[in-house]
Amino acid sequence: MHMRNSKVKISLPDNSGSIEVGSGKFLVVAGPCSIDTRANFLESSRWIKAQGGHALRGAVFKMRTDPKRFQGLGRDGYPILKEIRETLNLPVFTEVVDTRHVEELHPFIDVFQVGARNMYNYELLKELGRQRKPVLLKRAFSATLDEWAGAAEYVLSGGNDNIILCERGTRGFDTHTRNVLDLSSVILMKRRTGLPVLVDPSHGTGRSDLVLPMSLAAAAAGADGLLVEVHADPSKALSDQDQAINLEQFGVLTKKLNQVLSALEKNL
């Protein structure tokens, strides 16, 4: 299965143009795991833009192992998404977790993100195939490459080929990292599907101290970009505290990334 050879375009919120993923430009999508307050999300988003980030991430529906923990702002988060993406003119990636949310989320976001837990939720994938906004499809915890490619086919089967893949680590046996980031998959899936592949070093390791080196490694391996958790104050984040980097660390990351990318004749 080779799906396409071209790039995926993400329109800017004001429709003044678009960002191309899968070209020589390396995409940096950054933001909190889940949006907690308007103020925090605005502060980090401004900083992300200032440091050269191209798009924002931020969930309003957050998948948690334990139903008693913070589940995201839900629909209360929609106006925050709308305001900030328009104010900063940065596309927003947001997780979608139910077929019934696709239509209502549509006007507030730019890219539908399918998390690892929903990669096998084929009804959701088919629903996302019926609309035309790009879909970021994360690899499930222990998805084989065949299963991951099959999931992309479910989106494609509805007629939407604006698919971006994202390697986010697979389940491993060592407890020092949350997951094992499998960079070989990036190379193999790009070649196999023709789709751009991003890397999420935050979930991929679960440790903020590994985000910088693994981001550089992802760039060197040939990934098309990063999905990285950035929070104005990680110690106060309502989810995934251990893996978010702070604003200063994000600044260092983009600087170092640019050095490695230049060596490979790419750039941010």
Name the residues that contact a second copy, by CB under 8 A.
63-68, 97-100, 116-118, 120-124, 126, 140-142, 144-147, 150, 153-154, 157, 170-177, 180-185, 187-188, 205, 210, 213-214, 216-222, 259-260, 262-264
Q: Which is nearer to a second copy, 50 or 220 (CB)?
A: 220
Instruction: Enter the tokens of residue 236.
Output: 């106060």
Residue 184 CB, shortest distance to a second copy, in Å, is 5
**Strands 197-199, 163-167: pairing kind:** parallel
Q: How far is CA 121 from CA 23, 107, 197, in A?
A: 29, 22, 20
Residue 234 CB, shortest distance to a second copy, in Å, is 19
Q: How far is CA 204 from CA 22, 134, 243, 245, in A?
A: 21, 22, 9, 14
Q: Which is nearer to a second copy, 13 or 158 (CB)?
A: 158
Q: Which is nearer to a second copy, 39 or 264 (CB)?
A: 264
Residue 14 CB, shortest distance to a second copy, in Å, is 32
Q: Which is nearer to a second copy, 172 or 194 (CB)?
A: 172
Q: Which is nearer to a second copy, 232 or 245 (CB)?
A: 245
Residue 114 CB, shortest distance to a second copy, in Å, is 11
Q: How far apart are CA 105 and CA 60, in angstroms?
A: 10
Question: Any bridge partners for residue 55, and if so which?
Answer: 29
Cβ atoms of 59 and 95 within 8 Å: the answer is yes
| Backbone φ and ψ of 105, nearest 5° | -75, -25
Q: How far apart are CA 137 and CA 194, in angstroms?
A: 14
Residue 181 CB, shortest distance to a second copy, in Å, is 6
